[in-house]
Structure 1
């Protein structure tokens, strides 16, 4: 099967959509498919305007333009997308969408115009925009488009269903359970509760509130009772560093910057708890990686992380930042509970291996073919 993915963002940009589209495409190549990715993201050396890279067997079409702030858009993107579809004649088009994904939505519109079987995966939460999007959809041809709609979690799918009033499946993110499986754990002993958070440092990930709530928990514990490592970089890095300084938390919070995947896995061997403070997280691939590595996960209730975190079993789902600080204090003072939950996670891997995800994707592709045939 010739599969064409369409995504505004792709490597070398870092983030959940970028990593998932790249991993899914590579896994599909390994399964014997021919896979192409159309993206508005420039290459490592600025490749653009139709340059095709081959990465892990995936043909990556760089259709972006050099614009300020490295925005993944291109004024002539629709023409380039249409030309690519006509050359490739894919068996299925898999569009990856966020709240603002002009390149991806152009790809969906053009694929449907060309009567190509199309599936659209939402990697975002549509909180706050459901009503206006529903109004737009109800007054346009998007209301009856013959595309297979899905989202990366049940929480995200609920919002998409409210917008389109159509069937919306769940196509979760995937993970290599062997690669991210538990390694030999460095025991904490009588040392601090070891917290870690891996994220792109942008405001929506809420790095500053993370520092503040950990500081609040630290003040309720004996000196040296808790330690937080923040892994990641991004435009909010300066504000996060300022929050550490303003809170006199240099001995509590360690800003480690961007790490490679092997370095992240290594960092998890001497961590106990993964913190996820984002309120609009459609799935949370970084949290899934930590959960697979055996860490206890503390995340916000009402997010996609409920797909793999059962409250009180794999970790805790909390209502707000104060509740997250309460959980930190509880785990720091009840090491028996901590060890019990970590032991559970290390012996019970989550059910998001790539075999399951590839099967779910194939199901969506079959649904897309039926919808187009019946349109």
Structure 2
């Protein structure tokens, strides 16, 4: 399946099949107004028509729709540095009005217009925005940037971390709604009363279904399902969502309940990102049976997760592998070199949990230090295993070289990535069955041209090519990990070639702009199919 200029994503046939079923035709630009970068509708139809005419006169300023024209490949004479840093070019100039008003160079994708105008898309997430879920934020911002009417429904009414620029630019917090309402037992009845007065009396059957404790259990007894149903219904009265996209499999379950009680319509899309297709299914093997039967599209972030879904009963024709992307333009390519006498700087990024395999990383690094190599090992992140890991570091006598530095902002993490030589990512399957999809920290490090030592775990082999962009070892194989680290430390002249291969792999398959183009195309396919 095509995702960008001259690039393809592996395992594309299911997505192509979805598009073929929809029999899409090239879409014409119509005169329905979309949202500007500030989120304000243009209500003056005459001005809109003039602007539309202007933009259509100069077709060169707008990219062809993905299915309406062949892609142009780079010429063979393009410089390699352009290819390695070409990711910055995907951040295209925004709408002319915004640039004129702010005087700033915009990196917003121009609004596109389909036969029926911009789509109404609802996202069901945990908290929004979440500092450790930039891949979700980028996806939602990407759809707003493409001119679609985006609303976010949170199951956790908190903001974790700062407010990203894109969220501010499109005023997405103004379009973010708490799905289950306040948790305070005294305020909750007030919320329900307000919703019943404004919405509930219109839909008595929905109210009765939402209160069916025998069918829906605790979520009905707590009034959570009723609050969620009336909240969504209130928004749908003015927006009529074309697509409801659940960002984890567990939220797909919630959306299915909301569809059953009549609170939502539209096509149901569900992403699977790791624990929701591994750990959760291990303890709830039939949790998604109904979702697999009635859901419209499933988007696992790796082929390994796709295989899990098929093994659990999902029809393969409903599955498209859509990787989580990163903003490649934020990561500049740096050719790694070792200055004589300086230590090799090894970096690891992730929550301090079992599935990150940090215990094995520390043990492997300790063996490399014992062999006389000069290195430092920095571990970024917080989590429940911090005290245990600190004890292990002290027991192995490597406190001078191995440091747990705790949580850091994303900007600080990028700085650490740019100054490191090698990334270590020893992910393992947890004893509870929890697995990774494809860690974003590995993508970000590879985007800067850093070689990686990782494990053949989850979707990591879909990103790291053993012996080309890094090394892969078996899970929990401490000696093999130590051996690969020694090879990289002893051969710094190999870093540049591995780093270039790493950068090219991320540019080709994990750039968020290309992946958002593909997601948009899948949305349009579903909407057209429903007509």
Normalised-by-shorter TM-score class: 0.7 to 0.9
Distance in 2 (alpha carbons) for counterparts of 1:170 and 1:237: 34
Counterpart in the other structure of 1:236 = 385
Task: State the TM-score, normalizing by the size of structure 2.
Answer: 0.60
From 355, 365, 379, the counterpart of 1:214: 365
Query: Secondary structure of the residue that 2:419 maps to in structure 1?
Result: coil
Cα deviation for residue 370 of structure 1 reads 6.2
Deviation at 1:348, TM superposition (A): 6.3
Query: What is residue 49 of structure 1 aligned with on the other side?
Result: none
Is 1:105–2:253 an aligned residue pair? yes
Q: Tell me, yes or no, if structure 1 residue 7 matches structure 2 residue 7.
A: no
2:508 aligned with 1:355, yes or no? no
Greater gyration radius: 2
Q: Distance in 1 between matches of 2:386 and 2:168?
A: 30
Post-superposition Cα deviations, 1:71-112, rounded to whole Å, max 9, x if no partner, equal xx98444223322321222221111115xx3x5521243246
Structure 2 residue aligned with 1:88, among 223, 235, 238?
235
Q: How many residues align?
A: 351
Gap change, CA 1:10 and 1:327, over 3 Å in 2: farther
Deviation for aligned residue 1:361: 1.2
State the Cα RMSD in Å. 2.9
Alignment map for 1:166-205 (pairs within 5 Å):
166-167=315-316, 168-183=319-334, 187-205=338-356
> SS of the residue aligned with 1:262?
helix
In the alignment, is the contact (CA less than 8 A) between 1:111 and 1:117 conserved in 2?
Answer: no
- The answer for the alignment partner of 2:490 in structure 1 is 333
Q: Tell me what 1:79 maps to.
A: 226
For 1:325 and 1:364, locate their aligned partners in 2 and report how far apart those are by CA, in whole Å. 43
- 2:156: which partner in 1? 41
Distance 1:341 1:290 in 2: 12
Does the alignment pair 1:119 with 2:286? no
Matches of 1:3 and 1:143, distance apart in 2: 21
Cα pair distance change 1:194/1:142, threshold 3 Å: same
Q: Structure 1-normalised TM-score?
A: 0.83
Write the distance in 2 (CA, Å) between the matches of 1:247 and 1:304.
31
Q: Give 1:205-354 correspondences, 5 Å limit.
A: 205-222=356-373, 225-279=374-428, 280-320=435-475, 321-322=477-478, 323-345=480-502, 349-351=506-508, 352-354=510-512
Cα distance, 1:131 vs structure 2: 7.2
Given that residues 382 and 407 in structure 2 are in contact (C-alpha distance below 8 angstroms), is that contact kept between their aligned partners in structure 1?
yes
Greater per-residue helix proportion? 2
Q: Structure 2, unaligned stretches of length 5 or more?
A: 1-118, 162-166, 185-217, 429-434
Write the distance in 2 (CA, Å) between the matches of 1:281 and 1:141.
Answer: 25
Tell me, in whole angstroms, the C-alpha distance in 1 between the residues paired with 2:467 and 2:297.
35
In the alignment, the residues of structure 2 paired with residue 94 and residue 45 of structure 1 have an alpha-carbon distance, to the nearest angstrom, of 21
Hey, which of these two has a bigger chunk of strand by percent? 1
CA distance in 1, matches of 2:282, 2:246: 22
Moved more, 3-12 or 291-300: 3-12
Give distance in 2, aligned partners of 1:264 and 1:333.
26
Separation (CA, whole Å) in 2 of partners of 1:104 and 1:146:
8
Matched-pair contact (CA < 8 Å) for 1:152–1:283: yes
Structure 1, residues 160-219: CA drift from partner, whole Å, max 9, x if none?
A: 121123121111111111112325767443422221111122232232332222212222
